[in-house]
Chains A and B, each alone.
Chain A
Amino acid sequence: MTSDFIDSLRKGNRLALSRILSQVEDGTNNGKAALEELFLQTGAAQKIGVTGPPGSGKSTLVNALARELRKRQPDQKVAIIAVDPSSPFTGGALLGDRVRMLNLQDDKQIFIRSMASRGALGGLAEQTEALSQVFDAAGYGFILIETVGAGQSEVDVVNLAHTTIVVDTPGMGDDIQSIKAGILEIADILVVNKADRPGADQSASHLRNMVEMGYSKAITRHHLEDTLNSPGEVSQPQNWVPPVLKTVASQFEGIEHLTDAVLSHADYLRQSGQWHAKDRAAIRANIRRQLIVELLNDFRQNVPAEVVDSLVEQAQNRLISPNEAVRELLAYNRINTLKSSE
């Protein structure tokens, strides 16, 4: 990994970019080493998450938004990471988001990468954040991240994105209520797509009502958190009210307003200090995630499987409790860590 390589990424060597994306996605040693270097060059891009139920028009909306962002800021490159689910049975995947993005392919400043979720839950793949860092380092100013079709709990994208767009459609009936409750909390911008269908106004006003209710709660909660934070990390009180926008993405209707909202959300984040706070939170979450994996690896090296098995058996025979088994395992781990560091 040399600075020459990073240079060539920034200058637009798309073959090199595409190959390093694969290496990072596959978690090869090369990919890991590259990512360590590349991370130091990240932090400039606005990451925009797009989530919502299957069939709500996420891909089409991303397609339209990418076009409009390029029109507004021609000197900024746009990356799209589109995640689709992997089969839990075969590990295979059919990645079909590009079908809705065909008219972006004549613009060489837009780079679309499809990703299979590879068993991760939460709406993203395990390496989605890593890929977004590669794009960021390669000088892409906007990174659009489209999640798998999401229901209630696929909210990982919030930890990663600066701006989260939740896409909904009219006329999804009563089922949608539960989804609304789940996704409202994570939306910075709410979109009622396919708004040329009946019931769009009703859906939009319903969402607006729910935003207003949730908004007063959000303020109280954020104030509470502020008093608990250490002085260095106190964030500004939240005063962004998620707008509810109607779009017909396939006809490019409402996309100007959506783009306005995306850009002014970035301004808001920067001015309020939230950009900094989100960046810190994302990095903290990233470190914690890796730490848990590494600690487990360490543990597995320090404590032979037979030791674990024998404690499981003792617990099954009701000689000790699972709690006690954990205490013993931790003690065993500690002793062996000391031994190996001597």
Chain B
Amino acid sequence: MTEKKIRVLIAKPGLDGHDRGAKVVARALRDDGMEVIYTGLRQTPEMIAEAALQEDVDAIGLSILSGAHNALVPKVLADVRANGQTDVVVFVGGIIPEVDIQPLLDQGVFKIYGPGTDTRQVCKDIREAVSAKALA
């Protein structure tokens, strides 16, 4: 029972009410053997950072369909780092326009997944990213 489990927080910041994508990813990560903490709709960046802190997660997945990603994602990144969790992998799913992708990646987002992403790819990416951090 000493195997290290990967713990992932799946959260929906902001005000849009469409959580199907978040639930599909949460389910896929669960089926891949990870422990997924699901927090539901309408989270502020502060609430997400607080949950990530209490749960000591390895990764955070943010689902955003509202178009507010340029405001929300940097705030989550900043709050999580301010709490001292500097090595958490943050990934984003949802509708993110092409032009916004690179700036978000530059700010420290690990990957951005659009509609139609194969969830197996997501699981594989997260696994690799988390174990790379663990070795570093």
Contacts and interface: CB of A to CB of B under 8 A. Distances in A.
Interface stretch (A14-22, A70-78, A196-204, A301-309): A14-22
Nearest to B4: A26
Contact of A102 (B7, B30, B34, B40): B40
A278 interface: no
Chain B interface mostly: mixed
Interface in B35-75: 35-40, 43, 46-47, 50-51, 53-56
B29 A92 contact: yes
B60 to A, nearest CB: 13
A99 B9 CA distance: 12
A156 B4 CA distance: 24
Contacts of B56: 18-19, 21-22
Contacts of A19: 56
Contacts of A22: 7, 56
Given A18-B53, A18-B56, A111-B54, A91 B47 contact: no
Q: Which of B26, B33, B54 has the most CB of A within 10 A?
A: B54
Contacts of A118: 1, 5
A93 B35 contact: yes
A99 B33 contact: no
Interface residues of B, number: 32
Contacts of B34: 92
Given A95-B36, A99-B40, A14 B54 contact: yes
B29 to A, nearest CB: 7
Given A92-B31, A92-B32, A93-B30, A14 B40 contact: no
B39 A93 contact: no
Interface residues of A, number: 30
A121 to B, nearest CB: 14
A14 B1 CA distance: 25
Interface string A228-244: 00000000000000000
B33 A114 contact: no
B2 A28 contact: yes
A95 B85 contact: no
Contacts of B26: 94
B115 interface: no
Given A14-B54, A15-B53, A15-B83, A94 B30 contact: yes
A22 B2 CA distance: 11
A28 B4 CA distance: 9
Contacts of A126: 1
A111 to B, nearest CB: 6
A319 B39 CA distance: 60
Contacts of A96: 38, 40
Given A26-B4, A105-B47, A95 B84 contact: no
B38 A99 contact: yes
Contact of A98 (B2, B7, B37, B53): B37
Contact of B54 (A27, A90, A112, A119): A112
B36 A98 contact: no
A114 B3 CA distance: 18
Contacts of B32: 90, 92
B114 to A, nearest CB: 23
Contacts of A310: none
Contacts of B54: 14, 18, 111-113
B80 to A, nearest CB: 11
A95 B2 contact: no
A15 B38 contact: no
Interface string B107-125: 0000000000000000000
Contact of B37 (A15, A91, A95, A111): A95
Contact of A26 (B5, B51, B83): B5
A87 interface: yes
B21 to A, nearest CB: 15
B27 interface: yes
29 contacts: A14-B54, A15-B53, A15-B84, A18-B54, A21-B56, A26-B2, A26-B4, A26-B5, A27-B1, A90-B30, A90-B31, A92-B29, A92-B30, A92-B35, A92-B36, A93-B36, A94-B27, A95-B36, A98-B38, A98-B39, A102-B39, A102-B40, A102-B47, A105-B47, A111-B54, A112-B51, A116-B5, A118-B1, A118-B5
Interface of A: 14-15, 18-19, 21-22, 26-28, 86-87, 90-96, 98-99, 102, 105, 111-114, 116, 118-119, 126
